[in-house]
Amino acid sequence: MPVNFSIKNVPDDVAERLRARAKRNRRSLQGELLVILERVAESERSDQALVVLEDMLPDRITFEEADRIVKALNLPKTQDSTEIIREMRDARYGG
């Protein structure tokens, strides 16, 4: 069942950057915040999988072995680097 979150006392500059990001991505602020939360939750899952892998794997494996393991994990796709660079640029220059 979905839950509701409430975030109080968000600094004006943070709120404005989030609104701008939502507008850029053609989403409502609510939609943009949900996407951000989903990405964070997925990255946490990926981080946990990596910890388990580190414990299971020998110190050295071949590229082919690593590729097979990564494909078997069926991890979520990472964020497009273009989007990451755009977000960093916009955060820096207020785009």
pLDDT tens per residue across span 52-88: 767 766 677 778 887 887 778 777 777 777 888 888 8
| DSSP assignment of 59-81 | S---HHHHHHHHHHHTPPPPPPH
CA dist 90 and 95 (Å) reads: 4
What pLDDT, on the 0 to 100 scale, is given for residue 57? 67
> What pLDDT is recorded for position 72?
80
Residues 28, 22 contacting (CB under 8 angstroms): yes
Whether the Cβ atoms of residue 46 and residue 74 lie closer than 8 Å to each other: no
pLDDT category at 30 given cuts 50, 70, 90 is very high
Q: How far is CA 31 from CA 19, 48, 55, 73, in A?
A: 11, 26, 37, 28
Q: Which residue has the higher pLDDT, 30 or 56?
A: 30
The predicted model gives 46-57 an average pLDDT of: 71
- Read off the DSSP letter of residue 8: -
